[in-house]
Amino acid sequence: MQTVFEAIKKIAFEIDDAIKNSDLGYAEKENASGEDQLKIDVLSDLIIEKEFVTVPRVSMLVSEEKEGALQLHSSGSYMVCYDPLDGSSLIDVNLSVGSIFGIYEGSLDAQYLVASAYVVYGPRIELVIAIKGSKPMLYRAEGDQFKVIGEISLNEKGKLNAPGGTQQNWAPHHKAFIDSLFAEGYRLRYSGGMVPDLHQILLKGGGLFSYPGTSDKPYGKLRQLFEVIPFAFMYEQAGGQAINEKGERLMELVPQHHHDTSPCFFGSNYEIEALKKAYGIN
Ligand code: AHG
Ligand code: MN
Ligand code: MN
């Protein structure tokens, strides 16, 4: 597994450099989710592919920017599913973006996720790695190295509320629940990039990030294999919870297709319990 994490560290520096120095125009193609690809999405995908080609333990790659899986080493056992650049449409306004990695062994099914990692490209480069049985670990780039900062642990209750999706298309019970959190004193913190939004909640001790099913996107927007499941694992390892609209753990998801999405809610225990009550799924 260490070779996979070392590859992710190299990737982080390369993608950060690409964000700062390369062309941000459109690639004139769509990805498998029907979204316009930016040249930087495609470049980040190639940076990641090029690095994992050198890691014999990696058997297969599944990327947000590739239609199908890419087979690598038949001797390897890790299947790496990744979003090369999350929130790429925020780069032109100079907001933070990220990369997300889910490492599966055995099957592309949440229960088979063995580790996850994400990188935040902000004023500084930060990396968080979660492995089974321990709290997620935060690293910060200093020079050309990553330095360990410490473990990440969620409090029982937080103060931040990051409500995703178009409000006009929210279900009435979802709107009532989000409003009730604000009425309780929660503060809005939402950039439109799930990596910095979820990272902020993790580092500030807790809160809720939601991306529900909406009237225009009944299954939500965020993709299971490389967005939802890696962060569900992070939140559970940090002492929080991650569920869907039925109250089922996102760590029980069994994706049918590589680009399947799911409504998702990530938070500390208090907010997720409040959500279950509001949704009538207790
Ligand atoms: P990506 O840039 O990889 O397509 O993902 C962006 C995601 C996520 O970061 C964010 O939470 C969500 O899209 C916001 O989407 P909308 O603004 O369309 O609701
Ligand atoms: Mn994304
Ligand atoms: Mn992306």
* Residue to mutate (ligand 1; options 44, 64, 222, 225; most atoms within 8 A of CB): 222
Tell me if 56 CB under 6 Å of ligand 1: no
Residue ending a domain, among 151, 186, 214, is 151
How many structural domains is the chain composed of?
A: 2
Number of helical H runs and strand E runs in the chain: 6, 15
Predicted confidence (pLDDT) per residue in 99-117, tens digit:
999 999 999 999 999 999 9
Residues 147 and 118 both lie in one domain: yes
Within this chain, do residues 165 and 144 fall inside the same structural domain, yes or no? no
Angstrom distances, CA of residue 160 to CA of 91, 152, 188, 196: 24, 16, 6, 13
Q: Please report the atom of ligand 1 found closest to the CA of residue 193.
A: 9
Q: Considering 89, 119, 151, which residue would you say is the last residue of a domain?
A: 151
Ligand 1 atom 17: the closest Cα is on which residue?
192
Q: How far is the CA of 205 from the centre of ligand 2 (A)?
A: 23
Same domain, 66 and 182: no
221 lines ligand 1 (CB under 6 A): yes
- Is there a single domain that holds both residue 164 and residue 147? no
Pocket test for ligand 1, best of 24, 91, 189, 221 (most atoms within 8 A of CB): 221
At 32, which CATH number?
Answer: 3.30.540.10
Which has the closest alpha carbon to 156: 272, 63, 9?
Answer: 272
Ligand nearest to the CA of 64: 3
Domain identity same for 209 and 254: yes
118 and 77 both lie in a single domain: yes
86 lines ligand 1 (CB under 6 A): yes
Q: Is the pTM of this model over 0.95?
A: yes
List the CATH number of the domain containing 258. Answer: 3.40.190.80
- How far does Cα 49 stand from its chain's mean position? 18
Last residue of some domain: 151, 182, 212?
151
Token representation of residue 153: 């642990």
pLDDT of residue 32: 87
Nearest alpha carbon to residue 273 among 235, 239, 247, 236: 247
Q: How much distance in Å is there from the Cα of 16 to the middle of ligand 1?
A: 19
**How far from chain centre, in Å, is Cα 158?**
20
- Could you tell me which residues come within 8 angstroms of residue 34 by beta carbon, excluding any fewer than 6 positions away? none
Q: What is the pLDDT of residue 30?
A: 87
- pLDDT tens profile 167-207: 999 999 999 999 999 999 999 999 999 999 999 999 998 99
Give yes or no: residues 188 and 140 share one domain. no
83 lines ligand 1 (CB under 6 A): yes
Give, for 202, the enclosing helix (H) or strand (E).
helix 194-203
- Confidence at residue 189, expressed as pLDDT on a 0 to 100 scale: 98
- With a 6 A CB cut-off, is 128 part of the ligand 1 pocket? no
Q: CA nearest 58: which of 13, 11, 121?
A: 11
**Domain coverage including residue 140:** 2-151
How high is the pLDDT of residue 277? 97
pLDDT of residue 23: 82
- 165 and 33 housed in the same domain: no
Question: Do 177 and 88 share a structural domain?
Answer: no
| DSSP labels, 228-239 | IHHHHHHHHHTT
Helix (H) or strand (E) holding 19: helix 2-21
Q: Tell me the sheet residues that pair with 239.
A: none
Both 47 and 125 in one domain: the answer is yes
**Parts of the chain with a pLDDT under 70:** none
**Which residue's CA is the nearest one to ligand 1's atom 16?**
165
Angle at which helix 229-237 crosses helix 194-203, to 10 degrees, equals: 0
In the prediction, which pLDDT does 194 show?
98
Q: Looking at the structure, tell me whether residues 168 and 104 fall in a common domain.
A: no
The number of the ligand 1 atom at minimal distance from the alpha carbon of 89 is 2
Query: What is the predicted pLDDT for the residue at 4?
Result: 98
Q: Does 165 contact ligand 1 (Cβ within 6 A)?
A: yes
Q: Which of 80, 164, 165, 74 is nearest to 117 (CA)?
A: 80
C-alpha 87 to ligand 1 mean position (Å)? 5
CA 149, 150, 151, 156 torsion-angle sign? negative
Give me the amino acid identity at 48. Answer: I
Positive or negative CA dihedral for 241, 233, 248, 165?
positive
The answer on 251 and 112 residing in a single domain is: no
d(CA 211, CA 274): 16
